[in-house]
Amino acid sequence: MEIVSKAKSFGGTQGVYRHASQCCGCDMTFAVFIPPQAKKMPCPVLWYLSGLTCTHANVMEKGEYRRLAAELGLIIVCPDTSPRGDDVADVEDNWQIGKGAGFYVDATEAPWAKNYRMYSYVVEELPRIIADEFPADMGRQGVFGHSMGGHGALTMALKNPDRFKSCSAFAPIVHPATADWSMNAFRAYLGDDEAVWRQHDACFLIEDGASFPEFLVDQGGADGFLDSGLRPWLLEAACKDTGSKLTLRMQEGYDHSYYFISTFMDDHLRWHAERLSV
């Protein structure tokens, strides 16, 4: 593992790291914030999954999480959103497929299957590195994310309820199998069998019997992608009368940007801290 950069912040350390990923078949970069409490004891881990076109850096630079994460004693891990490199498949004129648009699935179709294995990377490979290299309490993990990353957080929690003890999202793509933003990527990565898509769709997973104790979702009311890509009311309908409790908060006047995310970041960190028994 290569250290790309390190900086002291709020008594802790914000680091950026690079390693050769077996899952993705290329070098992958990720960010980790270590709070000051980790000098004395392992700390719980909160995974942040970013949205379309983003890298690990967007939330690191704009998310405003370090002050409260340092106070609460949370390790924050920020993976990239896709494989990277000159040999990695891409669609240069389509920001919804290819680099920056891994959708947190394991692709099965050529040419994407060679590198686009972001589900296994985030759920299996990167946690091993975090456990080995950082003072992390892997028995206390939570996951949250934005937009495409909100989709990833919801599906990973639903598929791994024994791994994650908390889950929240900012403006998630809740029903990607039917959303304008994601249908083309699902078809490219997973093929034409829409039954396969259900395994990577929060609404369908809940409909098919998966559950998670509770979700927190914040959604901007002025989000320009609300009706075409996000549609949180579909998650609300899916969770109704099931084992998954949803707190959906519509935030009037807020859009899809990091101005929105940073405004409610503290709420989400405290939500996770309570459920991770910090």
Per-block mean pLDDT, blocks of 10 residues, the chain (278 long): 97 98 98 98 98 97 98 98 96 94 98 98 98 98 98 98 97 96 95 95 97 97 95 97 94 98 98 92
Catalytic residue (choose from 146, 175, 200, 256)? 256
3-state secondary structure of 116: coil
Global pTM reads 0.97
The Cα–Cα gap between 236 and 233 comes to: 5
Would you say 103 and 151 are in contact if contact means Cβ atoms under 8 Å apart? yes
Distances in Å between the Cα of 264 and the Cα atoms of 60, 64, 216 are 15, 10, 11
Task: Out of 21, 147, 166, 168, pick the active-site residue.
Answer: 147
Longest dimension (CA), the chain: 51
Given 223, 244, 268, 272, which residue is catalytic?
A: 223
Asked about 147 being catalytic, the answer comes back as yes
* Whether residue 82 lies in the annotated active site: no
Is residue 256 among the annotated active site residues? yes
Find, among 223, 219, 242, 241, the residue nearest to 232 by Cα.
Answer: 219
pLDDT at site 241:
87
| Other beta carbons less than 10 A from residue 270's beta carbon | 14
Q: What is the pLDDT of residue 278?
A: 61
